[in-house]
Structures are given as C-alpha cells and as structure tokens.
Structure 1
Amino acid sequence: MPALPPDPPIIVVTGQGLPAPVAQDAFGSVTIARDRLTGSASNRIEDVLSDAAGFQQFRRTDSRAANPTSQGATLRALGGNAASRVLVTLDGVPQDDPFAGYIPYSALKPETLGAARVTRGGGAGAFGAGALAGTIELFSRAPSPRTEASLAGGSRASVQGDALIGRRLGDGFVTIAGGFDRGDGYVIIPPDQRGPADVAARYRSWTGQMRAVVPVGNGELQPALRLFEDRRLRGLRGTDSSSKGADASLRFVGHGAWRVEALGYVQARRFTSGFVAIDAARAIVTPTLDQFNTPALGIGGKVEVRPPLPDNIVLRVGADARRQSGRTNERFRYVAGAPTALRRAGGVNAVAGLFAEGSAEFGALTLTGGARADHWRIADGTLDETLIGSGTPIQSARYPSRDGTCVSARAGGLWRASEIVRLRVAAYTGFRLPTLNELYRPFRVGADATAANAALGLERLQGAEGGLEIGHGATLSLTGFVNRLDGAIGNVTLGMGPGTFPQVGFVAAGGSFRQRLNLDAIDVTGAEAEARVPLGAFTLRGSLALADARVRTSGIAAGLNGLRPAQSPKLQATGSVDWTRDGWRLGATLRHSAGQYEDDQNVRRLPSATTMDAVVALPVGHGLQLTLRGENLFDARVVSGISSSGVQDLGTPRTLWVGLRFGGDGG
C-alpha cells in the first residue's frame, strides 16, 4: 500500500503583532476587552478609554462637537494644552495627526477593534519618542469569516451605521469595514447665554478600511488601508471644520525561531477650519480666520527582532523612525467681511531611534529594563504673511534647524507574592517633540489669541510608581505615582486686550494674549485604583484617579507657579455594571470629573460633572439584536469651556438611541 502524503501544515494567522512580554505587567497595563469597547452608549472610542484611570482629552467634549485640534490624549493630568502626550497606535501605527498632534477619534470605530491596552508612564520601546505619559495600543479584531452590520437612530436626527465583511483569502483573510455617523447636533451654549447667532453643532463623518492577513513562510503579511472624513460645525456659522485622511501600512510578523516584526506606514492628512468673532449680544458673527488648507504627511516604520533565548528570557532590539511634515494656509485680517492677508507656516519634525529591552522571569519574580537613544531634528520652519491684494510681505521668518540626541529608559519589577497578590515597581523617563502646530501656528479661541513659538524645546518626563494587585477572577489594583514633566509646553497669558500683539495682531477688550512657552516643570503626585468583579451574569468595573498637578515656573511665567495646569481635574471616577445572559445585555456607566480650570491663571473654573449612560440589548431572532442606548440620561450640564466673557461651552446633553445589530458568519 503506497504511503499517504503527509498532511499539509496547519497555517494559523493571528492578524496581530508580536505578543507583549509578561514583564509588561510591571508597568501597570490595563486591557479593555472587545465587549466593553463595543458596549458604550455613545459607541465612541474616546468614551470607553475613560474606563482607564487617568485618561482624559483636553476638553470634556467628544468627537461630534469638539474642534478636532482640541482632541489630544493624555494620562495622569500631564496636560496643560491640547497636544497629545500619549502615543496612540492602531496595529502599531501611530494615530496622531502629523501637524497638530490630535487623535482622529471619529475614524477609530469600536466595531473593528478586538482590544485596547493602556500603559501609563513613559515608554522606552518602539516609537518611545511619542510615549511621554504612556501608550494606548488599539488592536484590530482577529481575522475570521463573518458579516456584521448595525444601524441606529438617535436624538436630534442622529444616525450611526457600520458594516463589516470578513472573507477567507487562501489561507488568510481579508476584512472590509465602513461606517458613517451624522447628526443635527445640539446648541453648545446654555439657553440663558445663547443668542440669535448660536446654531446647533452638526456633524457628519465616514470611514472605510480594508485589512488583509496573508501567510508568508513562518510569518504573515498584514497590509491595511484606511480612509476617513469628518466634518463639524462648531455652533456658529463660519466655524466649519473638516478632517480627511488616507493611511496605508504594511506589517510583517515572523513567528520563527527569530521572531521579527517589521512595519512601514504613510499618513496623508488634510485639515480645514473657520474661526469667527461674535458681538456681546451673540447676534452677529464676523469671520476672523479661514484655515483653508493644512496638508500634512507622516512617514515611518520600525523593525523589532527577538532572538531565540530560554523561555524565561525575552529580548527586544530594534529601530524606528518617523518624519512629520505639514503647512497651514490661512486667510486672516478681515476687513468688511473679506480677508486681506495670507499666512503660510509649517516645517518638518523627524526622529529616529534604536531601542533594546529585556525581561527575565525568576520564579515568582519578573524583572525588566530597557533604553532607547533617539536623534531628533526640527527643520525647515517658516512663517510667511503677505497682503492678498498686492502680495506685499507683512512678515517672513525662516527658523534655524535644530537637532539633538535624547536617551530615555525604563525599568520595572513584578513579584507574585502569592496566587492572588502581586506587587510591582517601575521607573521611567520619556520625551516629546513640540508639534508643528505648537511651533509655527498662532490661533484664536473667541476673544483669546495664542502665539506660536518656533523656539520651543522638548518636554522630558521622569517618573516612578508602585502598585499592588489583589485577586484572580475578581481583581483590585492600586497604584501610587510621582511624575515630573520638565519643559512642559503651556499656553501662558502674557497680556490682556485691547491691544496689538506679536503674530496675532489685535486682541479686543476682555481677550487674553498668550504664547506657547516651555514651563520649568509640571509636578504630579497621584494614585489610581481599578477593580473588576465578576458575579455570575453580572460584571462590576470601577476606576478612580487622583492627581495633584502643579506648575513650577519662573521668569516671565512666574505668576503661574503653584497653580494647576489648564484642563487638569484633580479627581476622575468611573463605575459600571453589566448583566448578560442568553443574548440579553443590560449595562449602566456612571462617570464623574471634578472641577478644573479653563485657563493657565486658574481664574475660569469649570464645575464638576457627573453623567450616567445606559445600554439595553435583546435578541429578536434571525441573528438580529435590538439595542437601546442612552447618553447622559439625567441631562447633566457638562461645562467643557468658559470664554473670557464668561460664556460657557457645553458637552453632550441627553441623547437617546434605538438600533438593530446583525451578526453572522460569512463564507
């Protein structure tokens, strides 16, 4: 009888990168699972990330009504302006805008994600140059044949729709997904302060993506393409903004004896925004600036290698690089409703680094340590202003290029004292380059004007923490930390209107003139607690963050010494309960944020805010599920900003949704 041919090898693709070493737990990472990512009342990723203690955006407004450039991400109250101090990645690719540094939250659809991992503290691994306050890693869903779709309608003519199709591609998979989101929006000014010119903050966005996973030898190739567009009106005619993006990436993950991860990507982005002034009666708006085109390009990649070593040892060595370029084009100095001047400003930021990090397990003890060396360059900075009619120069600046080398490191230890008790300690350093937006682009918010600063230096972080985790199924983690952010970039008040100031021109009475400056430091001392308790069909979750952040400064900004950074709450808390059984789900989430200050001088105080969301899902047969969702059920007033004249800016009011979700298998 002839011998039968051997069975073909079983090829299993994961669609993921190399797994995080066990030593990652020494840095207090928290993972948000898929069921939580897709189970929020708003169906927006920025809301779910608030489950992680200490996460915040610059303002309390989500990606339906905020100006996109205000949507940076930070952790542990290391804020003070809108730039991201957290590195946010999707399948390893950084997500911050190459020019302004904001996160395009509306393009990050929870339905396409499998998990999110939040790690607080400075980073020394791949792309560590951006991980000043920590990292938020988003992971796409594991590849599989499936078809899913959802459609929901909500308050104020809101509509959300998403669809995802997964199919086999030989021994691999291809996934195509898309979504749209629109609504008439709400009036962001309170009824007792609004005027005839205030209109609803309508929004409209869409996103489409294609991702494939293809086996190649002992590894897999993961190409991806993502397109998105987001349009918003910021509550006054003339304040339209648009964000467009086309991102492409290619990742190879090798699972052989020498494990390898190689990634390359390109990000093409374009942003526009309009700005207006409004009279005291809020009846007449006057255009002040038209940011009609801000193209930006990000190009980068990394290579990481893990050599074959004993099972208790992991070594990661590699290199990464990123180049960001962009230029804003703006019409300004309006006379009789028409612009009379044109501004062009921008430049190039680049950073390239080498990194190495190792970890070893010795029974109950795990030790880890790593370092990276980065060469950075700030180059080609320009600011040109000309009169539109004649082309006569108003000002023309060419800023000298700068470069340098920065070394950062981190180390940690994890001791499993028993089956249910784990202790950890960690220390770290990190750094961040100022964004092109901070370096070169002046801006206005209402009557306030802020000048750029091409001489800004790097932000550098030093920190240490210790933590305790108790439990196995039910868990409680407690962390205490101290951070010092040297050279923190803040918007510092230097004068009051009426008057004419450098870069920004005339500032009206009641308005503030600010400039981006490096403060001596921001010191933060704090504590975090997170808990998860499964009780049969119930799951209880909670998080608490306490952060005492203080500005340390001298010289021209000496008046800020001892104050709290702008938009940095002292306390944040989240609690949720979920019940699931036989396709049914009931969930509620309570969020609280303590009072915080709008401005660097701690004059405009935003009151505390507490909101409650709820979700109900029930099966109706044939793979369909009926969903009922409620945001801010008790319609709490969430003040996200206060202008120099005392006018408030509000976050999302009560919003109710009803929808259908379909989930099935494909071929």
Structure 2
Amino acid sequence: MKSSLIAMATVLGAAAVQTAHAEEATEGSGDDIVVTATRSARSVEDVPVSVSVLNADRISATPAKSLDDILRRVPSVDLPIASSGEIHPTADTISMRGLGGIRALVLLDGVPLNDPFFGTVQWGRAPLEAIDRVEIVRGGGATLWGNYAMGGVINILSRDPDKTTLALQASGGMYGTYRASANGAYVVSDAVKFTLDADTNHTDGYNETLPAERGPITVATPFTAHNIAFGGTFQLGADLTAHTRVVYHDNDQQHYSTKLQSNKQHNWVYSGDVTRTFASGATLTATVFHTDGLFRTDNAGTPDGFAANAAEYIQNRHFSRVHDTGASLVWSQPLAGVLRSYSLGVDYHGISGEDDADIFDQTGTRLRTDIGRGKQRFLGGFAQASIRPVEALEILASVRYQSFLNYDGYDGNPGGLLGNVPSQRTTSVDPRVSLRYAVTPHFALRAAGYSAFRAPTMDNLYRTVSVPQGIFYSDASLKPETLKGAEVGFDYTRPGFRGQVTLYTNTIRNLLTYRNLDDSELPPGFAFGSRNINAGAARSRGVEAEASWTPSPHWSLNAGYTFAESIITENALDPASISLQQMGIPRHKLTGSITWTGPRGLTITPQLRWFSKSYGDNDHTLPVDAHVVVDLAASYPLTDRFNAFVQVQNLFDNRYIADNNGFEPRRLSTPLTATVGVRVKLD
C-alpha cells in the first residue's frame, strides 16, 4: 500500500532544534536527560510518558547497516522486517504501537527525516557515527509535534562536542560492504564552534530472491549512500545563541533484484535557530528550515512471451521533486508553585511537490507522461502546562490547534481529472493529558489520554502509479485520519536498574486505505487498478515492556517485549480483513542483549531478537516468517586513540522470508554478514 502522510512536523524547528540544543545548558549525562517527551530538558526517570533512550555506546555495540536495524529492537517501534537498503524507498514505513503504515514522526537535529513527499524515512540520512543519542517517545505526540507524530516521536540528536576533535572510522566485510566516516569539530572560541561530518556507506548486496524464483536477470541488491553536514554554533551574547546547519545526502540503490530497476535520491537541507534567554529563565526560540529533494525510480516490466525474471524493460520512470519549508516560534517559561512551567508555540509548514512519470513500451518508446502535483500548508499552535498540585503528582496538559490546506493540485493521469484539483481545507483540535504519581522514590504510576491526526502525503494525494495493464490512483480528496488513545503504566528505577511497563489502546478513524476498481472505472488499456480512499477504522491494543540493568561494571543487560493486537475493525470494501492483524505488524516481539566488559577494555555483546509471524497484506494471504536472529559485536582498544571492532549480523545465518508484498518476488532476509573495522579519535 502506498505510503502515507505528509508532515508538518512543525514544531519541529524550535521543538526539535530546541530539543537538540537544550542539553547545552543542562547538567547531567546524555543518558539521564531527555527533551523530546515534553519539549524541555527532563530526567528520563521522571517524565510522564513511555520513553526509551539509545546512547552512542549502545548504537556502536549493535551490528547494523543503518539506524533502522537498531530501532527495530525497541519496544513498539514498527519497521519493515527487511533492512532499509534492501527494499524500495517508498516502502520504508515507520509507525509505533501497532498503528502500521507511516504513523510516527522522525526528527534529525530539528528537521523532519520523514520524506516530505512520501512520508517514508531514508535511514541512510542518519549516519550512525554522528549520533549522540536517540530518544523514542511512544504514544500520540501530535499535540506537541504535529502531523507525523500520531503514534510517537523518534528524535535523533547528533554529537555536539565542546572541544576541537576529530574521529575517524573505517570498516569493511562480506558482500563488498564498507563504511567510512569523519566527524570533526573546530572550536575557535567559546563563542564560535564549527562541526563537519562526512560519511559513505556501501554494500554490493546479496541476492534477495528465493533460489527457485531467480532467473537470468536476477542480481544482488547494491546500495550506496553519502552524507556531508556542516554546522555552526554562535554565542551572539550572554543570552543569545544561534545554530546553523547545511546537510547533503544522496543514495543509489538497485532494487527488486533485477538489472534495470534502480532508485536515486538526493536532498539538501538548510536549517537554523536563534534562542533568547531571559532573566526569568524563559526562552524564546525561532527556527527555520528548508529541504530540496529529488527522487528518481526506474521500474521494469516483463516483455510479452517471457517468464518473470527472464527478461525486462523499463516500463516507467518517475521523477518526484519536492520543496519543503518550515518555521516555528516557541516560548517556554519555568515557574515555582503549583504551575511549574508553561510553553506556547506557533508553527508553519509548506510543501510543494510534483511527480512526472514517463511511461514506455517494450521498444523503449515513450508513450506518455503522467503528471501529478500540488501543495500543502500546515498552520498550527500549541500550549502546554506542567501542574503539580502535590510534589508527588505531575499533570502535564497540552492542546494543539491545526489547520491543513491542500491547494494548487493538478491531476494529469489517464482516467484522472486531467486538470486542476479543487482545494481542500481541514482543521483539528488535539488535546493530551499525562499524569505521573510517584508512589515511592523508586516506583511511579503513569496514565495518559490523547487525540492525534495524520494528514495524507503528497504521494497519497497526487502520485498515481501504473504498470502494464494496471493503474493505482492517488486521490486529492483524501481527508486526515484521526486517533484517540489512552495508556497506563509504571516505572521502577534503582541504582543500575530502570524498568518500564505500559498498556495502551488506540482507535483510528477515517483510515487511509484503497479500493479495487471495477472494469467500468478503468481507463482504456487497463485491466485492473485501485484508488486511495478513507474507509473504516482500526484498533491497536498492547503491552510494551523494557528493562536495563547494570549489576556490575563488567555486565550490562537490556531486554524488551512488545505484544501488539492491531486489527481492522471496520472496512466495508474489504470485509475479509476485519478482525485480522494488520499487515506488517507481528503480535509478539522479544529482544535482548548482554554486554560483558573484560580485561583491558574488551567488550563482547551478543544480541537476540524474536519476531512472531506477520503478513504482507491485510487479508493474510502473504505470510512473512517468524524468526529468531542472533547478532554479535566485539570491540577492543588497541591504544587510547585506536579501537578495533568486529560486528556480525545473523550469526547463525537464519534465512527467512522478510518481505512479501504480492507485487514482486518474495525477499529473503539478510544473511550472515561480518565486518571488521577501526575507530580513531584525535583531540
């Protein structure tokens, strides 16, 4: 099913950038402080929400090609089973708590990582070596964070060194895999600091197609990504700080395991923020960002008279261009007494996108060009207050008003409007109330209730896709989905131990899905097709639990479990799907790791994950295998500056069906893959 949602990850700027820089003025380790949950710096032990934090050490100890391989282990984070470099970029969905599709917001240093056209996430844009930590906040976050945050927020924060330094890393291994990165900081003075991060990541890939389904054109799936980011921090006065950042990313992928099919993508991102701190402790942050993106995909068809995977030709070539601009202004005021703090914010997000699809016949002659384009505007404002009627009880209340506008739409697809699309405006009011009661210094109860929304993406609204004899329509009349949810849970913390359990329930209305077209609805030359629609409802209920324990300096343990009952409750157009688990969501997920630190700094970390069976469709005709995978990481400091490491994915080479969408051949999981490397730090 096509990707969803377009974003106003609006508070985004101030929120996430304010988020990203709040630590600069906050004492304590990065492990103790989180900012995403409340848009202010808080101890992870007393925030009234379900939150996980992955620090740089835990990231480096997890064998992974990209960040999605690490996040897949976090309770209630829902990602495709296959790694991002092995599937089509428009299938890189992200959700939380069993909501499915694209129903979570991902931020990278204050800018949405969700693609502004497709809503998906290209995880290669977040180089692992540049990450300081990742904060994962589960539960409806639209009140504070806007459109993408229906199921929660993932905030990726880059390293922010306070001294001149240079870190280098290089690694290589099986299947032509290699990675190289350089992360440097130059501190001119306390008032002027610069950072430069560069990264390249490549694999020749492996053959994902089952041996029995391979043919003469079946090949491996190579992937290459490059990133370069330049940033600056400027202390303009005792109470005035500014940040700027420019990021370039490109990637190149051969997909669907055939020779002619490929994806190419590049993005430029420009962002900046200014924060004024007042004598009362209040802060005012203004943030702006702009993204320019281009995505090209070549998709092949099978010529007449040939079996699948025996021959191919380029049947369509899509060029998707997008321009994305956002701005926000946020005021935060700490107080004493019953009202402990309040925040007020306004934000704007504007997106302009176009998809041009050249359609070819088997001789390479261009038959036509299908065109879809439009614009989206998001205007919103929020307010939040932290109230403590007694010291043990915190009430965190917030509300957002949101206005959406889809306009300047054009549908130039066969059988479509072949002209301008009427504008459409929608508004939404979304509150959230979170409670936390500290029963003892170590044990606390939590509860929350909230509503959230999700607007359709430019892809859903304007990008129609065709294949030989088939056409899959977008729909510019789609309306936002709405969600109502609630949760209860508890936190337990002791020195060296942190545990958290949460029970949740969510209901989505106006569910974005699709319906198959009758013959009378198809344009000439097409035998089948579908159209995006709002229809029916879905419900997700479940339990998420995680614990981390450090019983001694030599041992560290982490464990997580998710149970997710995620079902379609209403869908008159597909009654067979009712009461079945939603596509892509396993009911059970269990993960764990143990880190042993031995003599002279040697560390060894085995990790395990078990996912139960899931499906590639809502009617349960396309199974994705249950699987158990063991990974292994080890590192050893050769000197104070040099660290050698080994990482092994899928240690026992367990092969299983990891992707089964019904359109392409079933895909196998990542095989045993080992890499070795070295990290060098100079300062």
Does residue 199 (structure 1) correspond to residue 214 (structure 2)? The answer is no
TM alignment of 1:640-655, pairs within 5 A: 640-642=658-660, 644=662, 647-655=665-673
- 1:324-335 equivalences under 5 Å are 324-335=351-362
**Mapped partners of 1:302, 1:394: distance in 2:** 37
1:515 aligns with 2:526: no
Q: Which residue identity is paired with 1:344?
A: I
The whole-number CA distance in structure 1 between the counterparts of 2:474 and 2:200 is 35
Selected match of 1:360 from 387, 398, 403 = 387
The 8 Å contact of residues 413 and 464 in structure 2, kept in 1 or not, is answered as no
Contact in 1 for aligned 2:315/2:467 (Cα 8 Å): no
The alignment yields a C-alpha RMSD, in angstroms, of: 2.4
Any residues of structure 2 matched to 1:33-182 within 5 Å, and which?
33-57=55-79, 59-79=80-100, 81=101, 84-144=102-162, 145-171=164-190, 172-182=192-202
Contact 1:526 1:548 in 2 (8 A): yes
Aligned equivalents of 1:543, 1:155: Cα separation in 2: 30
Cα gap change, 1:383 to 1:577, in 2 (>3 Å): same
**Matches of 1:322 and 1:645, distance apart in 2:** 34
How far, CA to CA, are the matches of 1:309 and 1:471 in structure 2?
A: 27
Query: Pairwise mapping of residues 4-403 of structure 1 onto structure 2 (< 5 A)?
Result: 14=24, 19-21=40-42, 25-57=47-79, 59-79=80-100, 81=101, 84-144=102-162, 145-171=164-190, 172-217=192-237, 218-234=239-255, 235-256=257-278, 257-278=281-302, 279-291=306-318, 293-310=319-336, 313-361=340-388, 362-385=390-413, 396-403=418-425
- Aligned ranges for residues 228-627 of structure 1 at < 5 Å? 228-234=249-255, 235-256=257-278, 257-278=281-302, 279-291=306-318, 293-310=319-336, 313-361=340-388, 362-385=390-413, 396-443=418-465, 450-472=472-494, 473-493=496-516, 502=522, 506-507=526-527, 513-536=529-552, 537-581=554-598, 582-621=600-639, 623-627=641-645
Q: Distance in 2 between matches of 1:294 and 1:476?
A: 44
Which secondary structure does the structure 2 equivalent of 1:51 belong to?
coil
For residues 191-212 of structure 1, the C-alpha deviation after alignment (integer angstroms, 9 at most, x for no partner) is 1221111111011110000111
> TM-score, length-normalised on structure 1?
0.90
Task: Give 1:231 deviation, angstroms.
Answer: 0.5
- Match of 1:390? none
Q: Report the alpha carbon displacement of residue 504 of structure 1 after superposing the two structures with TM.
A: 10
2:12 corresponds in structure 1 to none
Q: Which residue of 2 aligns with 1:7?
A: none
Distance 2:134 2:288 in 1: 21
One-letter identity of the residue aligned with 2:657: V
Contact 2:462 2:474 in 1 (8 A): yes
Q: Is the 8 A contact 1:123 1:134 kept in 2?
A: yes
* Distance (whole Å) between structure 1 residues aligned to residue 585 and residue 228 of structure 2: 34
Please list the CA deviations of residues 430-480 of structure 1 after superposition, one character each: whole Å capped at 9, or x if unmatched.
101100101121236899753222221111111000001223221221110
Aligned residues: 636
Output the amino acid matched with 1:381: G
Counterpart contact for 1:21–1:314, Cα < 8 Å:
no
Instruction: Please point out which of 616, 631, 636 is paired with 2:654.
Output: 636
Distance (whole Å) between structure 2 residues aligned to residue 91 and residue 503 of structure 1: 45
Q: Please give the per-residue CA displacement for 1:313-347, whole angstroms capped at 9, x wherever unaligned.
A: 01011111111111011111524333311111121
Q: CA deviation at 1:592?
A: 1.8
Cα separation, 1, equivalents of 2:174 and 2:521 = 44
What is the rounded CA distance, in whole Å, between the counterparts of 1:544 and 1:493 in structure 2?
Answer: 37
Higher mean C-alpha displacement, 326-335 vs 235-244 = 326-335
More displaced stretch, 325-334 vs 455-464: 325-334
Following the alignment from structure 2 to structure 1, what is the Cα–Cα distance between the partners of residues 384 and 417? 48
User: Residue 651 of structure 1 aligns to which amino acid in structure 2?
Assistant: S
The 8 Å contact of residues 97 and 564 in structure 2, kept in 1 or not, is answered as yes
Q: Distance in 1 between matches of 2:576 and 2:454?
A: 25
Determine the C-alpha separation between the residues in 2 that align with 1:22 and 1:360.
17
Question: CA 1:573 to 1:515, structure 2 compared with 1: closer, same or farther past 3 Å?
Answer: farther
My pick for the range that moved more, 242-251 or 102-111, is: 102-111
Q: TM-score, normalised by structure 2?
A: 0.88
1:37 aligned counterpart, secondary structure: helix
Question: Do the aligned residues in 1 keep the contact of 2:258 with 2:309 (CA within 8 Å)?
Answer: no
AA at the equivalent of 2:614: Q
**Which moved further from structure 2: 472-481 or 281-290?**
281-290
Q: Distance in 1 between matches of 2:653 and 2:465?
A: 32
Q: What is the distance in 2 between the residues matched to 1:238 and 1:502?
A: 28
- CA distance in 2 between partners of 1:586 and 1:445 (Å): 49
Consecutive unaligned residues in structure 1, runs of 5 or more: 1-11, 387-392
What do residues 215-249 of structure 1 show as CA deviations (whole Å, max 9, x unaligned)? 12213211011100010001112211011000010
How far apart are residue 87 of structure 1 and its match? 0.9
Distance 1:236 1:106 in 2: 22
- Higher mean alpha-carbon deviation, 449-458 vs 486-495, is at 486-495
- Report the secondary structure of 2:437's partner residue: strand
Deviation at 1:354, TM superposition (A): 0.8
Measure the CA separation in 2 of the matches of 1:197 and 1:50: 32
> What residue in structure 1 maps to residue 5 of structure 2?
none
Return closer, same or farther for 1:375/1:617 CA change in 2, 3 Å cut-off: same
Residues 638 and 261 of structure 1, relative CA distance in 2, 3 Å threshold: farther
Report if aligned partners of 1:153, 1:659 keep a CA contact under 8 Å in 2: yes
User: Cα gap change, 1:182/1:515 in structure 2, threshold over 3 Å: closer, same or farther?
Assistant: same
Deviation, structure 1 residue 574: 1.3
| Partner SS state of residue 199, structure 1 | coil
Aligned residue for 2:460, secondary structure, equals helix
Cα contact 2:522–2:529 (8 A) shared by 1: no
User: Any idea what the Cα deviations from partners look like across 1:98-120, whole Å, max 9, x if unmatched?
Assistant: 11111121010122121111111
Q: Kindly state the Cα deviation for residue 558 of structure 1 after the two structures are TM-superposed.
A: 3.5
**Alpha-carbon distance in structure 2 between the residues aligned to 1:571 and 1:446:** 38
AA matched with 1:481:
Y
CA distance in 2 between counterparts of 1:602 and 1:446 reads 26
SS of corresponding position for 2:459 = helix
Aligned AA for 1:522? A
Cα–Cα, structure 1 residues 479 and 92, in superposed 2: closer, same or farther, change >3 Å? same
